[in-house]
Amino acid sequence: MASGIQLMEKVLFRVAKKWIAGDTIDDALSSAKDAYKNGRHAIVNKLGEYHKSKNQIKKIVSEYQKITESFREWKIRGAISVKPTQIGLSISQKECLRNLTTIVEIAKRAHVFVWLDMESADHTDETIELYNTFFSRYERVGIALQANLKRTEDDLRDLINMGAKIRLVKGAYKENSKMAFKSKEDVDKNYIKLMRRLFKESNEFGIASHDSKIIKKAIQLSKKYPKKFEFQMLKGIRDELKPELIKKKFVVSDYIPYGTNWLPYSFRRIKERKRNILLLGSSLLQSNRV
């Protein structure tokens, strides 16, 4: 008999699977291929974070290698997005540097873009340091910056000055009020301020948001400051809007996570939106019926 936890996990997975490609590399590549068929680019991410086992990390690095080398064969316009703590930052910066070197060298050979995801605020400095190291070696490396952090205005300025490729996000991690804006209103205000700066002073960046207000503002700014940029959204979110943007000739990328470690990612998505909690509730009710 399935335990309560197993049942809960089954229900959660039913909700989560619209955001996740599946367990395997082939699932990720198929999902990226679907995105491509629909006119979108793909950013593939292996789920999982805070790894400390060198064996596990080695496996992740080789999966990123396989994905990077498969894009051409699968005819996908793809990038990868890596979380520093999944490739060694939870062991040491040196370990992460070593693994990122392998990933970036493979990506360079395959002409694939590498994004560095930004994790919680205790890793911001180290992630920016890693970025600085790699950007001088390979220019197709980008970094995510979080509009909920008060420090981001300074980080953005410094990174723009060195010509960095930036993905602007609102921020998915719970931070304290000393270092972060807490209300949606303040985060949105800061996002728009930083986004304006990207349009004015930068080139080749990602506007990663599902928020209609932000997207509308980005479209307005793009008319005033024609820059190379893309909208980036998570797989399975705002799918009704993506074709509209493509029709208007904007580039849209789908961020496609895959892997068995889907629980923390799914919780972050569920918390982002009241309707997702309702979706989870109705799935629970349905599962009680069968």
User: Mind telling me the catalytic residues?
Assistant: 117, 167
The only residue of 172, 219, 241, 246 in contact with ligand FAD, by rule CB under 6 A: 172
Q: Which is nearer to ligand FAD, 165 or 269 (CB)?
A: 269
Does 215 bind ligand FAD (CB under 6 A)? Our answer is no
Whose tokens are 């793809």? That residue is: 78
Does 209 contact ligand FAD by CB under 6 A? yes
Is 278 exposed, middle or buried, given 0-12, 13-18 or 19+ CB atoms closer than 10 A? exposed
Segment (H or E) for 234: strand 229-234
How far the first Cα of the chain sits from its last, in Å, is 14
Q: How far is CA 196 from the centre of its chain?
A: 21
- CA–CA separation, 74 and 116 (whole Å): 23
Considering only residues 244 to 273 of the shown chain, the ones binding ligand FAD according to CB under 6 A are 255, 269, 272-273
124 binds ligand FAD (CB under 6 A): no
Question: Which window, 6-14, 21-29, 158-166, 207-215, contacts ligand FAD (CB under 6 A)?
Answer: 207-215
Minimum separation from the CB atom of position 173 to ligand FAD (A): 5
C-beta neighbour count of 117 within 10 angstroms: 21
Q: How far is the CB of 251 from ligand FAD (least distance, A)?
A: 13
Cβ 229 vs Cβ 198: under 8 Å = yes
Tokens of residue 51, six digits:
């790894």
How many whole angstroms separate alpha carbon 63 and alpha carbon 60?
5
DSSP collapsed to 3 states, 157-185:
HHHHHCCCEEEEECCCCCCCCCCECCCHH
Give the amino acid at 105.
Answer: E
Q: At closest approach, how far in Å is the CB of 212 from ligand FAD?
A: 7
Applying CB under 6 A, does 144 fall inside the site for ligand FAD? yes
Applying CB under 6 A, does 211 fall inside the site for ligand FAD? yes
Distant-in-sequence, close-in-space partners of 26: CB < 8 Å, separation ≥ 6:
none
# residues contacting ligand FAD (CB under 6 A): 23
> Which residues, 225 to 244, sit near ligand FAD by CB under 6 A?
232-234, 237
Task: Report 59-78 residues binding ligand FAD (CB under 6 A).
Answer: none
CB of 118 to ligand FAD, least distance (A): 4
**208 lies in the site for ligand FAD, by CB under 6 A:** yes
Residue 58 or 140 with smaller CB distance to ligand FAD:
140
The site for ligand FAD (CB under 6 A) is made up of: 117-118, 144, 146, 169-173, 184, 208-211, 232-234, 237, 255, 269, 272-273, 276
